[in-house]
Amino acid sequence: MQASLSNCPAPAKLNLFLHVTGRRADGYHLLQTVFQLLDRSDTLDFSVRDDGRIRRTNDVPGVPEETDLVVRAARLLQTAAGKPHLGADITVHKQLPMGGGLGGGSSDAATTLTVLNHLWQTGLNRTQLMALGLQLGADVPFFLFGRNAFAEGVGEDLIALETANRWFVVIEPGVSVPTAIIFSSEELTRDTKVVRITDFPEAHNLLDSDFGKNDLEVVAAKQFPPVAEAIKWLKTYGNARMTGSGACVFCSFEHEHQADEVLKQVPSKWIAWKAKAMQEHPLAHLISS
């Protein structure tokens, strides 16, 4: 058995649009969204243990070990696979901001399920891993699906899409937005018209069109003024939007040099970076269909 794997990527996602179309009986919201993978990632190291213990080896500020989605993902897989004697030491190198709408925690969890399924030779297929992932968070199945996608339900009904190979400028407005606060707002609209995949422009043209919006944006911008400020600033360069429940905002460009020009202008109070669209998750090959 291979004992360890280092520098495993957990990439960020953007929601190119995000419509809230209803609410389930359990309070969870029904969404329609297009998920886009980015080539900016957290990275994780895994080392197999033979005593059944699952440990995070480093401190992650603000995330106690027991609540880390990485530790919870590993425990869930250990139980589901019936391998109580197998454990792991996991190191999480965070690059993606927390509460940023980039899905960092969900992506870390998906990478953990993928890599430990491989190292422990657990043999779960993609569908089984996605079902486990959904127990950890609504975004986790997408990262296991492995391709850019149109998503419905709470994000678990996925159809693969070929999106444009764009460059993105992403601004971190310096606040962490808790997803639950945005979804529980009285001001959130929950009745955006349901679209069919054939209703919106071909995915590779999506970013050039006015199609879609992020229904969570109005709520987040009102409750977190730095989000509103970053959107306003970035809108002078193109069709800027918030991703997920915030806080990050993004704008896309055809050429890298255009992204570089915008980055040079970003006020120093914000962290900003560029990333390229990815069509496939870098670990997709480790999972069998």
Ligand X SMILES: Nc1ncnc2c1ncn2[C@@H]1O[C@H](COP(=O)(O)OP(=O)(O)O)[C@@H](O)[C@H]1O
Ligand Y SMILES: C[C@@](CO)(OP(=O)(O)O)[C@H](O)COP(=O)(O)OP(=O)(O)OC[C@H]1O[C@@H](n2ccc(N)nc2=O)[C@H](O)[C@@H]1O
- Per CB under 6 A, residues contacting ligand Y are 15, 18, 27-29, 31, 33, 101, 103, 106, 137-139, 154-155, 179-180, 183, 244-245
Chosen from ligand Y, ligand X, none, partner binding at 29 (C-beta under 5 to 8 Å by type): ligand Y
> How long is the chain?
289
Comparing CB distances to ligand X, the nearer of 200 and 278 is 278
Side chain identity, residue 19: H
Comparing CB distances to ligand Y, the nearer of 35 and 46 is 35
212 belongs to an annotated ligand binding site: no
CB 248, min distance to ligand Y, A: 9
Catalytic residue among 68, 139, 215, 274: 139
Question: Which residue blocks in 6-154 are alpha helix, DSSP H?
Answer: 69-80, 104-119, 126-134, 140-145
Among 2, 284, 256, 259, which residue's Cα sits nearest to residue 149? 284
Please say if 13 is a catalytic residue.
Answer: yes
Chosen from ligand X, ligand Y, none, partner binding at 180 (C-beta under 5 to 8 Å by type): ligand Y
104 belongs to an annotated ligand binding site: yes
Under the rule (CB under 6 A), what is the footprint of ligand X? 63, 67-70, 92, 98-106, 108, 176, 179, 244-245
Catalytic residue among 13, 42, 45, 108: 13
Backbone φ, ψ for residue 189 (5° rounding): -85, 140
87 belongs to an annotated ligand binding site: no
98 belongs to an annotated ligand binding site: yes
CB 33, min distance to ligand Y, A: 6
Residue number with the shortest CB distance to ligand Y? Answer: 244
99 belongs to an annotated ligand binding site: yes
CB 72, min distance to ligand Y, A: 12
CB 1, min distance to ligand Y, A: 31
Comparing CB distances to ligand X, the nearer of 184 and 236 is 184
Chosen from ligand Y, ligand X, none, partner binding at 108 (C-beta under 5 to 8 Å by type): ligand X
The conformation of residue 280, written as its DSSP 8-state character, comes to B
CB 142, min distance to ligand Y, A: 8
105 belongs to an annotated ligand binding site: yes
Chosen from ligand X, ligand Y, none, partner binding at 192 (C-beta under 5 to 8 Å by type): none
Chosen from ligand Y, ligand X, none, partner binding at 154 (C-beta under 5 to 8 Å by type): ligand Y
Backbone φ, ψ for residue 218 (5° rounding): -60, -45
Residues labelled catalytic = 13, 139
Q: Which residues are part of a known binding site? A: 97-107
Q: Which residues are part of a known binding site for ATP? A: 97-107
